[in-house]
Structure 1
Amino acid sequence: MSYDVEALRAHFPSLQSGLAHFDGPGGTQTPREVGEAIARVLTGPLSNRGRVGVSEVNADDAVTAFRAAYADFLGASPRGVVYGRSATQLTYDFSRHLAKGWGGGDEVVVSRLDHDANVSPWVQAAAAAGARVRWIDFDPQTAEVDLGSVTEAITDRTRVVALTAASNLLGTKPPVRRIADAAHAAGALVYVDGVHYSAHQFVDVAELGADFFVCSPYKFLGPHCAVLAAAPELLESLTPDKLEPSTNEVPERFEFGTLPYEIMAGATAAVEVLAALAPGDATERREQLRSSLHAVDRHELRLRQVVEAGLCDLGGEAVLHSRAADRTPTLLVTFPGRRSLDAYHFLAERKVLAPADWFYAHQASLRLALDDSHALRIGLAPYTSDEDVARLLEGLADFVAHSASGGGRAAR
């Protein structure tokens, strides 16, 4: 089966708005099947989990299906799949779980490429434990990870290396496995923020070398929630603070309170939609996902190259800061002498949505040190079409021409 973007778009009621969405890195649009799955479970019959009444079974089945779906999506064990409200919440939780064993002399490594959700929780946990923080840096000119800083940061005192698999701001994909191998050689654990990565790549947690891997289904067609994957044996070695009567079983002991069964059902449906995009001859869901996500990657790469060529045609009027050799279809752009925020509003008036901000990549924004107070982020998604891209590029060309004629405001 070939990848058919128009057939896929028919599954998204929201695309009937006429908006061309380039805001996928902040959260994709949602297919009809996901909404229907949420409504079906939520309207029940539905009770707390059990195996007696049908309403209890429905709740229990929603949890079991969720764990199986994300085990397939990530290449993990269902017993190692933890549900969370958000990646931020999960990272805060697990930084606290792990920090129980830290003390003075221990070190934690974080990255300047990361969304702050994979920085501040670790920095704050380290401060509370008296541990030292070391930094992995990147080159703002190339957007590539500074491998020298990796060598300097990881020592025999390192307890955790927290690293993104792909920058949500620049799209850069660090050499996660190489860094993970260095961390493991030093006896450290590796916590990988895969929120942006999972939206564009087939994920194999073991291949990446991640001890913990977190992602957010709402970045890849699902509802707002998050998932953490780890080996069950590793989870069993952690003792979270929890309510006395709550289960001590893994992974449930990390999930506080009653689970949102309907959201879990929607997240499962998102995996099913992705698996059906271009499954080829595969019959197992894991292999269907491999085929589909490779097809998505090819589709998005082709469109990324079209966008990059269009930006190049604008000459020096648009500067592309996403320059790493290995990166996602996410492009950070500024406009010398113009405000990116104005470009955002200009495009929005033409029903093209490409927001301008720093998108919680706080350290990366400081490291880039750009003159503009915002930067335009163009994100491609599985449902992005050639027509969407044409509208984007036409809008950007009009913005440059309009502001050059005095219709825009200078950057400050």
Structure 2
Amino acid sequence: MTYDITALRAQFPALKAGSAHFDGPGGTQTPLPVIEAIADALANPLSNRGHDTEGERNAEAIVTRTRQALADLLGADPTAIVFGRSATQLTYDFARTLAKTWVPGDEIVVSRLDHDSNIRPWIQAAAHAGVTVRWAEFDPATGELTPDDIGAVLSDRTRLVALTAASNLIGTRPAIPEISRLVHQRGALLYADGVHYTAHAHVDIAQLGVDFFTCSPYKFLGPHLGVLAGRPDLLETLTPDKLLPSTNAVPERFEFGTLPYELLAGTRAAVDFLADLAPEARGGRRERLASAYAALEQREDALRRRIEEGLASLEPVIIHSRAAHRTPTLLLTLDGHDTTDAYRHLAARGVDVPSGSFYAIEASRRLGLGDTGGLRVGLAPYNSAEDVDRLLEALSDFLHRPAQRPRNS
């Protein structure tokens, strides 16, 4: 099953500016239905949630429908969908809450593969609770982080493992279901960062076996927002710090202040947009999403191979994304050239390929790239073969300039 890339691209006003966007891992461009849903929410009566006035009913409907949309996207229970400003904010909130259940002598596990938002909140919470932090290492030569790597740092004192479902830097997709079984055998919880994963793979949190799963709609065509899906029974046991008059109901007890209703409306529209990606798909939204992601993965993998084949002829290029199972995300360094210079050269030619470590600073250091990282080429649903050709041509042009001493080697 495929989708019409020309028709899809016509739905993105930002693409009219002419750039080839390979910056999707940092945030995708926004389709018209999402923009219109946000505007529509703001154009109609809107108030705090309730059932008496039209504004209250509109707010209530937006929240309820968006929880269901996210539940369909993630294979979750809508009563266990928590909204927040960002995945980082949600992780800090839950780290503080879960740390209340830890005692000195307990242990938690974090990984070098992760974005810092799934590392630092746990380390800081552990320090306040007097809990030991253990590190799971990935192989810098292959980019792999295996169940054995996690198993090596688990113990009977492990209370939580924080691990990415897909690396935002090099795309590695660890074997989460197998890791989940190891974690649960030790009686620990698994908190998965699914921000990068959700943009490229059909999520089934039951199959993954995770206890918590975060994602960010702005990575999959929606607005800036954070989402956490948890186990309803587990959320009922947690007691976050909150205002006295605020509800103690789940999931609302974890949502502080008034929700951004317009962004929730845009998020639901983004899920529906993805569900309609493969027009031939049939069934409910969950089933159509499965078909859409199958089409998306097929197309993105084909474009990734096209990029890799083109890069193979550019000898100064080193590809650090090597795991067997990975997203269409490539981290590059350029022997004899600085990637920040490359980023600027490409940007001047309308090819957006950012350079950095993208908050995956531990992974960048583990790869031997220090804090500066490299060029990150990331695909999104709207990327075309023409985009890829522009990227390869612009990068080749840059590499044929006189070499300069690299600042990030």
Asked if TM exceeds 0.5, the reply is yes
What secondary structure, in the 3-state scheme, does the structure 2 residue paired with 1:68 have? helix
Alpha-carbon distance change, 341 to 249 in structure 1, aligned in 2, over 3 angstroms: same
CA–CA separation in structure 1 for the residues paired with 2:51 and 2:170: 47
CA–CA separation in structure 1 for the residues paired with 2:392 and 2:305: 12
Residue 352 (str. 1) matches residue 356 (str. 2): no
Ranges in structure 1 where 5+ consecutive residues have no aligned partner:
none
Q: Quote the residue 1:11 is aligned against.
A: 11
Matches within 5 A, 1:329-408: 329-370=328-369, 373-404=372-403, 408=404
Residue 232 (str. 1) matches residue 232 (str. 2): yes
CA–CA separation in structure 1 for the residues paired with 2:260 and 2:321: 37
1:222-281 Cα distance to aligned partner (Å, 9 max, x none): 000011001211110101111111111110110000111111000000001000000534
Matches within 5 A, 1:72-221: 72-221=72-221
Q: Quote the residue 1:40 is aligned against.
A: 40
What secondary structure, in the 3-state scheme, does the structure 2 residue paired with 1:15 have? helix
- Measured after TM superposition, the shift of residue 283 of structure 1 is 2.2
AA paired with 1:186? R
CA–CA separation in structure 2 for the residues paired with 1:101 and 1:82: 20
CA–CA separation in structure 2 for the residues paired with 1:403 and 1:176: 45
Q: Is the Cα–Cα contact under 8 Å of residues 111 and 137 in structure 2 kept in the other structure?
A: yes
- Measured after TM superposition, the shift of residue 373 of structure 1 is 3.5
Q: Is the Cα–Cα contact under 8 Å of residues 160 and 191 in structure 2 kept in the other structure?
A: yes
- Measured after TM superposition, the shift of residue 411 of structure 1 is 3.9
What secondary structure, in the 3-state scheme, does the structure 2 residue paired with 1:229 have? strand
What secondary structure, in the 3-state scheme, does the structure 1 residue paired with 2:337 have? coil
CA–CA separation in structure 2 for the residues paired with 1:389 and 1:39: 33
Alpha-carbon distance change, 67 to 371 in structure 1, aligned in 2, over 3 angstroms: closer
- Measured after TM superposition, the shift of residue 6 of structure 1 is 1.1
Q: Quote the residue 2:67 is aligned against.
A: 67
CA–CA separation in structure 2 for the residues paired with 1:210 and 1:273: 26
Give the 4+ runs in structure 1 shifted more than 4 A: none
AA paired with 1:52? D
CA–CA separation in structure 2 for the residues paired with 1:231 and 1:198: 18
AA paired with 1:386? A
Share of identical aligned residues, percent? 60
CA–CA separation in structure 1 for the residues paired with 2:131 and 2:231: 25
Give the alignment's TM-score, normalised by structure 1. Answer: 0.97
- Measured after TM superposition, the shift of residue 372 of structure 1 is 8.7
Ranges in structure 2 where 5+ consecutive residues have no aligned partner:
none
- Structure 1 stretch displaced more, 123-132 or 141-150: 141-150
CA–CA separation in structure 1 for the residues paired with 2:144 and 2:190: 20
- Measured after TM superposition, the shift of residue 90 of structure 1 is 0.4
Aligned residue-pair number: 408
Give the alignment's TM-score, normalised by structure 2. Answer: 0.98
- Measured after TM superposition, the shift of residue 149 of structure 1 is 3.0
CA–CA separation in structure 2 for the residues paired with 1:113 and 1:95: 19
CA–CA separation in structure 2 for the residues paired with 1:313 and 1:143: 22
Alpha-carbon distance change, 59 to 165 in structure 1, aligned in 2, over 3 angstroms: same
